Amino acid sequence: MIERLGGLWGHLQGLPVFWLLLTLGVFQLATMIARRSGGFPLANPVGMSILALVLLLHFTGTPYERYWAGAQWLHLVLAPATVALAVPLYLQRARILRFAKPLLLTLVLGSLLAIFSAVAIGWALGASEGSLLALAPKSATAPVAMGIVEKLGGIVSLTAALVILTGVTGAMLGLWLLDRLGVKDPAVRGFALGLASHGIGTARAFQESEETGAFAGLGMGLNALMTSVLVPVLYGLV
Amino acid sequence: MLKGCIALLACLVVGEIVVYLLTLPLPGAVVGMALALGLLVWRGGEPPAELREASQGLLQYLSLLFVPAGVGLILHLDRLRSEWLALSVAVVGGALLTIALSALLLQRLVRRGGRTDD
């Protein structure tokens, strides 16, 4: 038995459930740290978990495919969870309809701002052309942003990375920033967060309240639509 | 709970079918969400308890579900490293600017709308 200990790590590395367990365990730990920190914005469970697991894979030399073999089971649930957003949205239908005009106007301007601010800052700091195209749709949910960049002949994998970083930024700092700005209405907070930082921002919004989460889901869904129209059109102009 | 999960998965699959047939530039899940919302509106009244349960169960752990894709960042470390300053400022600055200005605009519009209604 003792002589088999040497091969134990290799065996665990090849076990999909081991990575599933680690992902759940790390996330649980990150959630506990976030709670302990008393709402310190950088102590965000998603951000901390991603960082911890990236470091773990990096230093153990584990290929992402090995990790994915276990973690994909969680990823698979993401699509039905997105569909599940329809329920809180439906429960908020009266407020959504009442504020239809302000929401639509904010959507158009916010979507343009998300695209222009990222591209302008990147351009000013000397980002390459390929990176600028990957930055443009970064506020949209990952599959939409990747689809847009693929059609325009850009770097799809870089887009995915930037989309995730945008989501984590929104989840970490978004609600904290809105507190500083004195924005208290859960509908306004949620819509802005979902529009700018898609599903990861929406997940954060649900931790605040069901109403914040519902409006974040609305912002995410509408901005997916808006970005997929705007980016190709704007790209055709430049 | 099981019935609720079946309903969500059915909407998702129909969403995927619609995206495939119409070659829409959207993920099947977003179309599935719109479809489920449409069905709830058409049905009216309170959403079925089984669906509410399934939806709450999934959304409670929404954050966790982004972790596997997020760890995929590891595949792009080299690219991120070579242009890290421009990319990180663009990502963080762009996101915060968008959140702040969208929220302030919407807050203004909602308040003004509220006043004219009263």
B23: alpha, beta or left? (left if phi > 0; alpha if psi -120 to 50): left
Confidence of residue A158 (pLDDT cuts 50, 70, 90): confident
Q: How far is B44 from chain A (nearest CA, A)?
A: 10
pLDDT at A126 over 60: yes
pLDDT at A232: 87
pLDDT of residue A156: 83
Q: What is the pLDDT of residue B70?
A: 86
DSSP string, A49-98: HHHHHHHHHHHHT--HHHHHHHHHHHHHTHHHHHHHTHHHHHHTHHHHHH
Beta-carbon-side half-sphere exposure of residue A139 (alpha carbons within 13 Å) = 40
The pLDDT of residue B114: 62
Residue A142: per-residue pLDDT = 85
pLDDT at A192 over 60: yes
The answer to whether residue B22 neighbours chain A at the CB level (below 8 Å) is: no
Q: Which residues of B touch A119 (CB under 8 A)?
A: 90
For the stretch A49-73, pLDDT in tens is 999 999 999 999 999 999 999 999 9
Cβ of B88 within 8 Å of Cβ of A54? The answer is no
pLDDT number for residue A148: 86
How far apart are the C-alpha atoms of B97 and A71, rounded to whole Å?
Answer: 33
Domain ranges across chain B = 1-65, 74-118
B6 shares contact with chain A (CB less than 8 Å): no
Contact B106 A191 (CB under 8 A): yes
Can you tell me the distance from the alpha carbon of A53 to that of B68, in angstroms, rounded to the nearest whole number? 9
Q: How far is CA A191 from CA A29, A86, B62, in A?
A: 29, 15, 17
Q: For A122, which of B35, B90, B98 is closest by C-beta distance?
A: B90
* pTM of the shown model: 0.87
* Contact indicator for B19, B10 with CB cutoff of 8 Å: no
> Residue A118: pLDDT above 80?
yes
What is the pLDDT, as a whole number, of residue A78?
87
Q: Do B30 and A67 touch (CB under 8 A)?
A: no
Tokens of B32: 């599935």
Between the alpha carbon of residue B82 and those of residues A146, A153, A227, A235, B95, the distances in Å are 21, 21, 27, 24, 21
**In Å, what is the CA distance from B57 to each residue of A53, A121, B4, B42, B53?**
25, 39, 10, 24, 6
Tens place of pLDDT for every residue, chain B, 118 residues? 899 999 999 999 999 999 999 988 778 888 998 999 999 999 999 999 999 999 999 988 888 998 998 898 898 888 788 888 999 999 999 999 999 999 999 999 998 876 554 4
**Residue of A32, A65, A77, A87 to mutate, testing the B interface (most B Cβ within 10 Å of its Cβ):** A87
How far is B21 from chain A, CA to nearest CA, in Å? 16
CA distance A32 to A30: 5
- Quote the CA–CA distance of A48 and A46 in Å, as a whole number: 6
Question: Does B67 contact A99 at a Cβ distance shorter than 8 Å?
Answer: no
Q: What is each CA distance from B49 to A78, B1, B8, B53, B79, in whole angstroms? A: 21, 8, 13, 6, 47
In B, minimum Cα distance to A228 occurs at B25
Whole-number Å distance between alpha carbons of B115 and B41: 28
Are the beta carbons of B68 and A27 separated by less than 8 Å? no
Q: Do A64 and B34 touch (CB under 8 A)?
A: no
End-to-end CA distance of chain A: 66
In angstroms, the CA A176 to CA B66 distance is: 21
Cα A164-A118-B103 angle, rounded to 5 deg: 85
For residue A136, the SS3 value is coil
Backbone angles phi, psi at B84, to 5 degrees: -60, -40
CA B36 to chain A, closest CA, distance in angstroms equals: 6
The answer to whether the Cβ–Cβ distance between A191 and B71 falls below 8 Å is no
Residue A36 has phi, psi (to 5 degrees) of: -60, -35
Average pLDDT along chain A: 92
pLDDT for B63 equals 86
In the chain, the amino acid numbered B83 is: E
pLDDT score recorded for residue A215: 95
Q: How many CB pairs under 8 A join A and B?
A: 315
Residue B112 half-sphere exposure, CB side, CA atoms within 13 Å? 9
CB contact under 8 A, A79 and B32: yes
- Give the distance from CA A106 to its chain's centroid: 20
> CB-based contact (8 Å) between A89 and chain B?
yes
B72 phi, psi to nearest 5 deg: -60, -15
pLDDT, position A228: 87
Asked if the C-beta of B23 comes within 8 angstroms of chain A's C-beta atoms, the answer is no
What residues contact A54, with CB distance under 8 A and at least 6 apart? B71, B73, B74
pLDDT for B118 equals: 43
